[in-house]
Amino acid sequence: MNEENKNEGNKKMELLRNAPVSRALFALGLPTMVGMLINALYNLADTYFVGGLGTEQMGAVTVAFPLGQIVVGLGLLFGNGAAAYLSRLLGSRDGDTANKVASTALYSSVWLGAVLIVGSLVFLKSILKQMGALESVMPYAIAYTRIYITFSIFNVFNVTMNNIVSSEGAAKTAMGALMAGALLNVALDPVLIYVLDFGIVGAAAATAASQMVSALIYLIYILRKKSMFRFHVKDCSFSREIIFEILKIGIPTMIFQILSSMSIGMINNAANRYGNSALAAMGPVTKIMSMGTLVVFGFLKGFQPIAGFSYGARKFKRLHEAIKISVIWSTVFCVIFGLTAVLFSTQILSLFTKDDWDLIRIGSAALRANGFSFLFFGFYTVYSFLFLVMGRAREGCILGACRQGICFFPAILLLPMAWGLNGVLYAQPVADILAAGIALIMALNLHKKLECMEAGDFS
């Protein structure tokens, strides 16, 4: 590593080790948060431009989204699992193991991602049917998803690298990669969809191009040796300790991603009983709310290395301060975002269709319900991240599975039976409130354990 990169690495370590917590959170969280916000906006742009093609095309993008999330889950499996471990390794100054972990995570995610993509393409029609695609939607869904899933191999690479890069405090690189892809996608969408008249295939091609550009930025970052880690095939290690440490955090994250995709698929399936407009309405609502969740996730990418480093270095006062500030800041954002969704739900949904009033009516009701429950999302997510970054996989797995699994599945199965379409619209908000209550109980218990550890009792 040359002198310039060495100095850059020292600045990152100083930020994690000694900088005021609020400044470190701002420096590490803001760039990733901005990048993920723009990333979410380009997902919304995709939905917006496709909405001009018709309700069936909107439905196609809606059913493709959860499948893409499952594929990207492999990037989270290895990327997030490695990131939590890497933060602790940096805190304990174990650089050799960190290089092995980073290399193992990156190459494993790409190879397994390729296998999953091939399998998805072979059974594409059956999978889309399970995700809620109606016969009128299916031709568009196949055309869009075939391109979208094939090129998502780049997104697996991007998500893995985003987590690894965030773990070392290189938030500006993560932001740059996300922003470049997002801006390109927004620029290409209208050109490919309408000017060149490629329709829904153009939307998929724009997404593919944007993911390739983001991957190129991360590749340049690796080749220029800007990272504190090495990424060599020879450094890959499948030792029991490394695989266990990656998977004990990665598997709960992957489970969370699978549950998220399943929950979207179940909502789509429940909604399609009420027609194309109900199914299509779930698309923009999901993308709008994911914009809020991605901003919180982006900010907490800054919290993650600080919490992991502080815990690994046994700096408990710094850890407590990081938790407190993160809960306050994320909750303030969630209140603003949630109330905006509630107050302007009809105006927001009107942007995604010209004359489908059923889509606007159903979508705005769903957006209002989700906006109210989003008020608790920041608190819930801080502790979901915290358990995982501390290596407490069991608690992290339970809490991560609450919002879109343990609490959601009973809600989506029972509420529509008693409440019809309203049961579909309110299933996620009900699950959100229940999950926040469980998070509160687990958070109180965690703080008691941290107090014991701070006093010297590590049992």
In a domain, 15, yes or no: no
In a domain, 14, yes or no: no
pLDDT of residue 12: 62
- pLDDT of 317 > 60? The answer is yes
- pLDDT of 165 > 90? The answer is no
In a domain, 106, yes or no: yes
In a domain, 8, yes or no: no
pLDDT of residue 10: 58
Q: Where are the alpha helices (DSSP H) in 52-94?
A: 55-91
In a domain, 1, yes or no: no
Count Cα atoms within 13 angstroms, Cβ side, for 433.
10
Average pLDDT over residues 185-198: 92
The model's confidence at residue 286, banded by pLDDT at 50, 70 and 90, is confident
The alpha carbon of residue 323 and the mean position of all alpha carbons in its chain are separated, in whole angstroms, by 20
Q: Tokens for 249, please give them.
A: 């955090």
Please count the structural domains in the chain.
1
Q: How many other C-beta atoms are found inside a 10 Å radius of the C-beta of residue 115?
A: 10
pLDDT of residue 397: 82
pLDDT of residue 58: 84
pLDDT of residue 459: 47
Average pLDDT over residues 145-174: 87
pLDDT of residue 4: 52
- pLDDT of 35 > 70? The answer is no
Smallest CA-to-CA distance from 166 within 99, 248, 87 is with 87
pLDDT of residue 375: 92
- pLDDT of 238 > 90? The answer is no
More confident residue, 435 or 351: 435
Average pLDDT, the chain: 86
Average pLDDT over residues 233-258: 83
In a domain, 4, yes or no: no
At 350, the amino acid letter reads: S
Distance CA 422, CA 414 (A): 12
Average pLDDT over residues 163-192: 84
- pLDDT of 30 > 50? The answer is yes
- pLDDT of 100 > 60? The answer is yes
Distance CA 305, CA 102 (A): 15
In a domain, 105, yes or no: yes
**Which long-range CB contacts under 8 A does 173-177 form with residues at least 24 apart?**
173/217, 173/218, 173/221, 173/226, 174/31, 174/32, 174/35, 174/301, 175/31, 175/32, 175/34, 175/35, 176/35, 176/217, 177/35, 177/214, 177/217, 177/218, 177/221
- pLDDT of 116 > 70? The answer is yes
Count Cα atoms within 13 angstroms, Cβ side, for 202.
18
- pLDDT of 2 > 60? The answer is no
Average pLDDT over residues 276-283: 85
Average pLDDT over residues 33-52: 74
pTM above 0.75, yes or no: no
pLDDT of residue 28: 77
DSSP notation for 162-193: HHHHHHTT-HHHHHHHHHHHHHHHHHHHHIII
Tens digit of each residue's pLDDT (9 = 90 or more) over 380-437:
999 988 988 887 878 888 888 898 889 999 999 999 998 998 999 999 999 999 999 9
- pLDDT of 159 > 60? The answer is yes
Domain that holds residue 255: 21-454
Q: Give whole-number Cα distances, 428 to 34, 244, 267, 345, 438, in Å.
A: 26, 32, 9, 17, 15
Query: In angstroms, how far is the first alpha carbon of the chain from the final one?
Result: 40
H or E element at residue 99: helix 95-122
The model's confidence at residue 55, banded by pLDDT at 50, 70 and 90, is confident
